[in-house]
Structure 1
Amino acid sequence: MGKTERTVSELMLDQLYMFGVRRIYGVVGDATFGIIDALAKQDKIKYIAVKHESTAAFMASAEAKLTGGLGVCTATMGPGAANLINGLGDAYADRAPVLAITGQAESDKIGTEYPQYIDQQELVKPFAAYSANLANPDATIEVLQKAARTSLGQRVVTHISIPKDILMMPAKGEPRRLPDVIEGTSSFTNESLKHAADIMRMAKRPMILAGIGATSVSADLEKLADLWGAGILTSLGGKGLFDESSPLVLQGIGEGGNPYAADVFKQADVVLLAGTTWWPEGFVPTDARIIQIDRQFDKFVKEIPTELGIIGKTEEVIPILTESLQEFSRSEDWVAHLQQAKEKWAAQNEEEGNTKGYPVHPSRIIRAIDRTVAPDAILALDTGDNTVWTNRNFKQKDQSVLFSGYWRTMGFGLPAAMAAKLIQPEKQVVAVVGDGGLQMVLADLLTATRYELDITVVVLNNESLQMERDKLKVAKKEEVGVDLTNPDFVKLAEACGWKGLRPASDTELESVMEEALNTNGPTLVDISTAQVFFPETQ
């Protein structure tokens, strides 16, 4: 083999490195031995070996969400590929650019009864915008280029399956960078946005619903809200965009949001959606006129009764709308109504966060977390009761939050925390998980040990699937299977090489959290949590 002649696997790694990939998450399997061999022979891309393929896909999804870059996971054929699906579903639902690379049966076995063979293009079809089986070594660069361009350009999942014999064949081609893209500025003017401004001027009870897509315009949105007399609500993805002291910021909406904001929101006559495609069912106005700003028109087809869609960047639209409303006379009665809802919830939130007792009330746990974590920490949330209590009671500052937004899968928190620490080792990383969600990925405690990841996992241990229990009660259905048989999480963590801590009372929460956060290495805090019915369960 000549000096410039590489195997498909080696060429693939060189190309991925040029795309900015520095980690590949996966589980070793014989159909990917070519990739494993190539990874072992270089040090530019690190292979993160996890215990279950779903964890690999969760970590790739979390990386893509946190960085905006390409997250990559790999698995063997058949069952390995199937195990990736849950994490790929998370990336698909939250529009995270993820590339999954799976092994496949040897070329002459494709389509036969070969063990573990399955048509993997059909397997990933619901989730992957592009999926190809690499049939010729010399197509390696072209296929990878198409996958990466698709993932990064459209923020979607892509997939390549590669027969195990082809992975080790020599391949022609040279890695090349993705083309630089010069994005033209939108030509928004007062005249082009006149229809939107006219609708907004008719408002007597305006509201703004902001999400993660409004990150760069939070200050501009506050100016608009002040001029327009609009209350600002945020989705979970938008939590932390605005300083809580801002007089018109009512915090979140939906389960876990400001409970008094729901009635306020239902009274709105005009709603501006900025940087979000989420519409909290059951919490929304029925007759309001809806204006939605988004870069992609397909976002307007979701279950939101949008009257006017503005295709473009939020940061280009908001200043012009603000300028158009300079002569607007806001309703001071409506502003007073908004501030009353804000103040009422602030007082109740503070009271909830100081609830005494043991097992500990969830609000008290979340208050201890927000009192002790670093202002710029990364929080990784699992899905379940812990999510809604965090949304309800955590007073976010500049922390980043990783969560499973639309897919809402259990088991996301620990993998996301591990990925975050690998990507930004200088940051404090805290996972807030339920006992049910943690047990879905429990084996990967050892992954944090293996890579010496200094993360803190806080377990809300109420020995139940509390969110499902609450919903069963609301539906007036009998329950079975919601009680959990839990291990001793502290002993289990210690057996995995972690430090395990457990507060003996609610008064010890802050001191135990501080000890955990100041420990150099993975630490688990097991908190006996009261089985509290979440007040907004629907």
Structure 2
Amino acid sequence: MEKTERTVAELILDQLSLFGVKRIYGVVGDAIFGLIDALAKQDKIKFIAVKHESTAAFMASAEAKLTGNLAVCTATMGPGAANLLNGLGDAYADKAPVLVITGQAPRNKIGMAYKQYINQQELLKPFASYSENLASQDAIIELLHKAAQTSLGQRVVSHLSVPKDLFDKIVTVKPRPLPTVIEGVSTFTKESLEQATAIMKTAKRPMIMAGAGSAAAPEAVEELAERWGAGILTSLGGKGLFDESSPNLLQGIGEGGNPYAPEVFKKADVVLLAGTTWWPEGYVPTDARIIQIDKNFDKIEKGIPTELGITGETQEVIPLLTESLQGFQRSEDWISSCREIKEKWTRQNEQEGKTAGYPIHPSRIVRALDQTAAEDAIFTLDTGNVTIWMNRNFRPQKQQAVLFSGYWRTMGFGLPAAMAAKLEKPNKQVVAVVGDGGLQMTLADLLTASRYELNITVIVMNNHALQMERDKLKAEGGEEVGVELTNPDFVKVAEACGWKGFCPQSDTDLESVLQEALNTNSPTLVDVRTKQVTFPESKNK
């Protein structure tokens, strides 16, 4: 028989379960004791206890990015809420639907000089599109629905703070599922897209930039590129959407992309942005006509000089554009130019991946990952030198997924994201590629992976430096201080945390060590002594 009376904390969990939430990430604190007690007494939602609140928010952000579903993190009031901010910044910047539940001072202490009190609506205001403080136990369902609908409908962060004296209050309201939303039949027709196709038909040197928003339509993008005679460039979010062998794929552009791609991209006269809001400043054509497709085009504020915006799903729009280009005479010279650049970079990329020596060159590490990771592996990237080397040399397979901190670009994302990915996809191989600097920001959470027996592999590019910052300082003619790192023995630290640790002693045994690590049934860390290399294109900036 269904309970007619619940505490606020119990009702929160029942409601979140109806929303499809399977876990809540957080750190225990006294302002959320009521929620923690309720979590301990049920088994629908699992509490994932981490070492630092930023990790909890990173994990929620990564889960939301991976699944598109609502992900939840929690923290106590004051310092706990403040520690969430970095991970929430990542979710905010990359449009991940995350709900934050924080404790708050008792109702009779709000606004007073009470320990740890701060106005959390103001604290989270830069990141949370919806933020409310629960004032009455009877309002909890309405506020949860508003928060969830805001997060899922707008792909944003929402926030509820709950005074600690309300968690135990008895309420008789019932949880209810979110309303079913029917998107409806596409309103797009060939006729409605005539303005777009008219612009596209003027192109003699067309280019497509594809991002994560093209995930449901990579084949359609390839078909359009073939008919239109366009090269395909990808943002980092587009990594893995297209096979390396795709004839029109030039890989990425910008820092870490195909270094020859700017040669053709700057000559483009019409550019179609398909599911990406990123614009690679400094690498772009100056006079190109730009068409942008995005479901949330009305919310885009990225400063792209778009001539025509199309609000819609890439998978709806692209096939109609392709059909409208029936009979279009593409430029074979332009296609040849794009394919020459593709082949030129393919040959160089292959050679870079064979770079010998110890400490091991970053390109050599990336190539070893190409050759050893599962064809459907999930990769999580930290921010820093690892990001640009992976963007440059990694050749993902079509079934592989890549999670990263896109616009927020925070260090410390890789390990938490890998743990969240493994919890959500326990049968997938999950590989975190991190720098020594990024890993040390969340190093304590190696113990979290051990606690929940998360069989992930962390590859540490260990060069004892914040190499990206060093490179940029050099390029700007600045003096260095603080870029050298004082590192522990990562293998010993990992082993002390219950992990298996590995450290290849030469570039020739790299693949065998990675294979062993990837096939070990426990959390594994591979400490790869990495050569300090100035990223090639940074020398010219």
Question: Residue 258 of structure 2 aligns with which residue?
Answer: 258
Question: Residue 394 of structure 1 aligns with which residue?
Answer: 394
> SS of the counterpart of 1:268?
coil
Return the offset for 1:126.
0.3
Q: In structure 2, what is the Cα distance between the partners aligned to 1:329 and 1:87?
A: 48
Question: Residue 405 of structure 1 aligns with which residue?
Answer: 406
Q: Which moved more, 1:495-504 or 1:299-308?
A: 299-308
Residues 247-303 of structure 1 show CA distances to partners (whole Å, capped at 9, x for unaligned) of 111011111111100121011000001011111111111110001111223245421
Question: Residue 451 of structure 2 aligns with which residue?
Answer: 450
Question: Residue 267 of structure 2 aligns with which residue?
Answer: 267
For 1:234-383, list aligned pairs within 5 A.
234-383=234-383
> SS of the counterpart of 1:166?
coil
Answering whether residue 210 of structure 2 is matched by residue 176 of structure 1, we say no
Residues 7-39 of structure 1 show CA distances to partners (whole Å, capped at 9, x for unaligned) of 110110000000000100000000000000000
Return the offset for 1:320.
1.4
- How many percent identity over aligned positions? 74
Residues 470-527 of structure 1 show CA distances to partners (whole Å, capped at 9, x for unaligned) of 0001111001000000000000100111001000000011000000011010000000
Q: In structure 2, what is the Cα distance between the partners aligned to 1:30 and 1:533?
A: 48
Question: Residue 478 of structure 1 aligns with which residue?
Answer: 479
How many positions carry a matched residue from both structures?
A: 537
- Identify if the C-alpha distance between structure 1 residues 3 and 297 changes in structure 2 by more than 3 Å, giving closer, same or farther: closer
Q: In structure 2, what is the Cα distance between the partners aligned to 1:445 and 1:301?
A: 37
Q: In structure 2, what is the Cα distance between the partners aligned to 1:243 and 1:448?
A: 32
Residues 414-469 of structure 1 show CA distances to partners (whole Å, capped at 9, x for unaligned) of 00000111111100000000000000000000000101110000000000000000
Question: Residue 507 of structure 2 aligns with which residue?
Answer: 506
Answering whether residue 120 of structure 2 is matched by residue 120 of structure 1, we say yes
Q: In structure 1, what is the Cα distance between the partners aligned to 2:197 and 2:14?
A: 51
- Report if the CA contact (8 A) 2:234-2:253 is conserved: yes
Answering whether residue 148 of structure 2 is matched by residue 148 of structure 1, we say yes
- Report if the CA contact (8 A) 2:298-2:311 is conserved: no
Q: Could you state the TM-score of these two structures normalised by the residue count of structure 1?
A: 0.99
Return the offset for 1:187.
2.2
Q: Which moved more, 1:298-307 or 1:146-155?
A: 298-307
Residues 161-180 of structure 1 show CA distances to partners (whole Å, capped at 9, x for unaligned) of 00111111112310000000
Q: In structure 2, what is the Cα distance between the partners aligned to 1:3 and 1:534?
A: 61
Question: Residue 106 of structure 1 aligns with which residue?
Answer: 106
Aligned-CA RMSD value: 1.0
For 1:132-143, list aligned pairs within 5 A.
132-143=132-143
Unaligned runs of 5+ residues in structure 2 are: none
Question: Residue 165 of structure 1 aligns with which residue?
Answer: 165
Q: One-letter code of the match for 1:286?
A: T
Q: One-letter code of the match for 2:377?
A: A
Return the offset for 1:217.
1.4
Q: One-letter code of the match for 1:55?
A: T
- Report if the CA contact (8 A) 2:4-2:174 is conserved: no
Return the offset for 1:189.
2.0
Answering whether residue 466 of structure 2 is matched by residue 465 of structure 1, we say yes
Question: Residue 525 of structure 1 aligns with which residue?
Answer: 526
Q: In structure 1, what is the Cα distance between the partners aligned to 2:3 and 2:359?
A: 65
Return the offset for 1:207.
0.3
Unaligned runs of 5+ residues in structure 1 are: none
Q: In structure 1, what is the Cα distance between the partners aligned to 2:121 and 2:358?
A: 51
Q: Which moved more, 1:162-171 or 1:77-86?
A: 162-171
> Where do 4+ consecutive residues of structure 1 move more than 6 Å?
none
- Report if the CA contact (8 A) 1:252-1:258 is conserved: yes
Q: One-letter code of the match for 2:423?
A: L
Return the offset for 1:3.
4.9
Q: One-letter code of the match for 2:369?
A: I
- Report if the CA contact (8 A) 2:106-2:165 is conserved: yes
- Report if the CA contact (8 A) 1:292-1:300 is conserved: no
Q: In structure 1, what is the Cα distance between the partners aligned to 2:534 and 2:436?
A: 16
Return the offset for 1:227.
1.2
Q: One-letter code of the match for 1:16?
A: L
Q: In structure 1, what is the Cα distance between the partners aligned to 2:169 and 2:93?
A: 35
Return the offset for 1:4.
2.2
Q: Could you state the TM-score of these two structures normalised by the residue count of structure 2?
A: 0.98
Q: In structure 2, what is the Cα distance between the partners aligned to 1:50 and 1:296?
A: 33
Q: In structure 2, what is the Cα distance between the partners aligned to 1:460 and 1:375?
A: 22
- Report if the CA contact (8 A) 1:297-1:311 is conserved: yes
Question: Residue 217 of structure 1 aligns with which residue?
Answer: 217
Return the offset for 1:51.
0.2
> SS of the counterpart of 2:486?
coil
> SS of the counterpart of 1:310?
strand
Q: In structure 1, what is the Cα distance between the partners aligned to 2:204 and 2:407?
A: 32
Q: In structure 1, what is the Cα distance between the partners aligned to 2:275 and 2:328?
A: 24
